[in-house]
Structure formats: C-alpha cells, structure tokens
Amino acid sequence: MFCVGDIVARPSHRQDIFFNIDQIVINANGEGLAILKGLNLRILADAPISDLVSKSPVEVANYEREDNKMIYQKLHKLTSQRKVEQDDQREFFEIPGRVLQLDGDQEYLSQCIKTYRQMGIEAKGICKSEMEQPKVIRKILQENPTDILVLTGHDGFISGKRDFHSMGSYRSSRYFVESVLEARRFQHNRDALVIFAGACQSNYEAILSAGANFASSPKRMLIHAFDPVFIVERIAFTPTDQIVSVKDILMHTITGTDGIGGVETRGQMRRGYPRSPY
C-alpha cells in the first residue's frame, strides 16, 4: 500500500526518475492513480499504482548523493570562474542583480533561495501554485522590486497528446505564459526585468514569445530543479554593460540546450568605485 509522501519509481520507465507521491486518486475505471512530483526534476506526472515500486532509504540516499555531486560540480565551476573575474576587478565593489522567485513547490523554492544567498545574491522566494501565479504576479512585482524574475514549478507534456504547440497538451505551460505576459505588462523591457520561466517539458516557444528571456524546454526535456539557479547566477554577476552569451550560460546548466534556451540578455550586476575600507 502506497501513501502520499512515499518515494517511488516507475518500472515501465526503467525506474530512471524518483518521485514523491503528491496525491492518490481513483480514476474513471476505479483504479488507483498516483500524481507524482519529481524528487529532483521539475516534472509532474501520473502513473497507475500498479506501475510503482517503493524506493528504500538507501536507494534514495544514493540517488540524492549522485544528484548532489552534479550540483556541487556545477556550483564549484561557477564560483571558481567568478573568483577569477573578481580578482581582475579588485578595486571595484559589486552589486549583483536581485532575484524574485515564484515557485509552485515549497521544497524546491527553499533549496533555490538558500543557494542564491550562499552565492551572495539577494533573493526572495514566494510559494504560489502554477495556477495562482498569473493572478498575483503584478501585485507581487509592485511590492517586491527586482532585477530578475523566476517563474517555476512543475509541468509536463500530457501522455497521449500529440500537438506540441497546443496549450492543452501541457499541465502548466499556459500558466507560465500568462504569468510572463502579466509581468511584461508591468515591465516591458527585457533588460530592465529579466525573466526565466518554465519547468519540465514546458512549451518553450510560447513562453519566449510571451516575453521571457530564458525558458524551458526546447526539446521538451526534463529539467533539473537547480537549472534556473545556474542561469540566474550568470545573469546576476554579469555587468550591466555586457551581454550574457546564451551559449556560454547554457553550458553551466545540468540539462543543457535540450532543456533550456533563451535570447541575448544584458547582465544585471553593477560595479561601484571606490571600495570602502570598512
């Protein structure tokens, strides 16, 4: 018997992804159906109870250890690169871009905000479901001035659908599109407000067309929970007089160009002079 909160995998998918059971419902045929949230990937999926296997604490620990290893490698590379850049500009002080993140998943949001702050980025997180985000984004932006807006949560291409352009084929893409449109009504300039939006398998083209600078997912791939963090770090620490290289910034993500894409964007860091001795 499975319960909400259990960590499981799907034998039909070679147990490649570990999930938390978010809900258990009964479908029209009277069969148990589990609504699943990726443990480290921003995907929302469903599966028959019969297609689930429980994962032991040891298996979960090994899975998370491998994931943490990947994250550490990416963060180490970013911080090492930033140290070299800072050494070249030691006489200046830096004010990185501020971040505001709305996320439909509190656990992912907490992890992201903690990482931003560890990297020296001023960040605020607000947990709002994907459906709520378009309704509240304008008010939140009015109350929380920011340089970089991140709109994330869970998404997925619905099993059995065939039209990659239809909003009806996605679990949450319509909400990301609506949120970006609302944010752009508030601030139309893509350099005055940099926006990352999307989750696993999101409608990449529609989100970019709505006005996002970066979005997921060009090849409808799964994206890692920390991919937005790696994008934001580069933007926040790139000077305002420089354009972020799209190709370079995507190299720092876990998913790469299959999962994330974007347009040329101006950095959000301001340098100051002179540096105070205090």
Which of 135-144, 198-207, 247-256 is the least confident region?
247-256
Please tell me the pTM assigned to this model. 0.87
In terms of DSSP H, where are the helices of the chain?
57-87, 106-118, 133-143, 173-186, 204-210, 227-236, 246-251
Structural contact between residues 20 and 5, judged by C-beta atoms closer than 8 angstroms: yes
Task: Output the pLDDT for position 85.
Answer: 66
Structural contact between residues 113 and 151, judged by C-beta atoms closer than 8 angstroms: no
Taking alpha carbons only, the member of 91, 112, 93, 90 closest to residue 101 is 112
Taking alpha carbons only, the member of 206, 260, 201 closest to residue 235 is 260
pLDDT band at 88; cut points 50, 70, 90 = low
DSSP class of 81? H
Q: What is the dihedral of CA 219, 36, 107, 226, to 10 degrees?
A: -20
Structure token digits, residue 214:
């970066």
Angle (nearest 5°) at CA 225 between 94 and 8: 155
pLDDT band at 86; cut points 50, 70, 90 = low
Structure token digits, residue 118:
């560890």
CATH annotation of 93-271: 3.40.50.2300
Cα-flanking dihedrals φ and ψ of residue 263, to 5°? -120, 165
Task: Output the pLDDT for position 87.
Answer: 60
List, for residues 49-68, the tens digit of each pLDDT value. 999 999 999 999 999 998 88
List, for residues 100-122, the tens digit of each pLDDT value. 999 999 999 999 999 999 999 99
List, for residues 153-190, the tens digit of each pLDDT value. 999 999 889 999 999 999 999 999 999 999 999 999 99
- CA-to-CA distance for 110 and 114, rounded, in angstroms? 6
- CA-to-CA distance for 131 and 237, rounded, in angstroms? 31
Q: What is the mean pLDDT of residues 197-221?
A: 97
Q: What is the dihedral of CA 85, 86, 88, 92, to 10 degrees?
A: 130
Calculate the average pLDDT of the chain.
92
List, for residues 4-45, the tens digit of each pLDDT value. 999 999 999 999 899 999 999 887 777 888 989 898 888 888
Task: Output the pLDDT for position 123.
Answer: 98
List, for residues 216-236, the tens digit of each pLDDT value. 999 999 999 999 999 999 999
Domain ranges of the chain: 7-56, 93-271
Task: Output the pLDDT for position 277.
Answer: 81
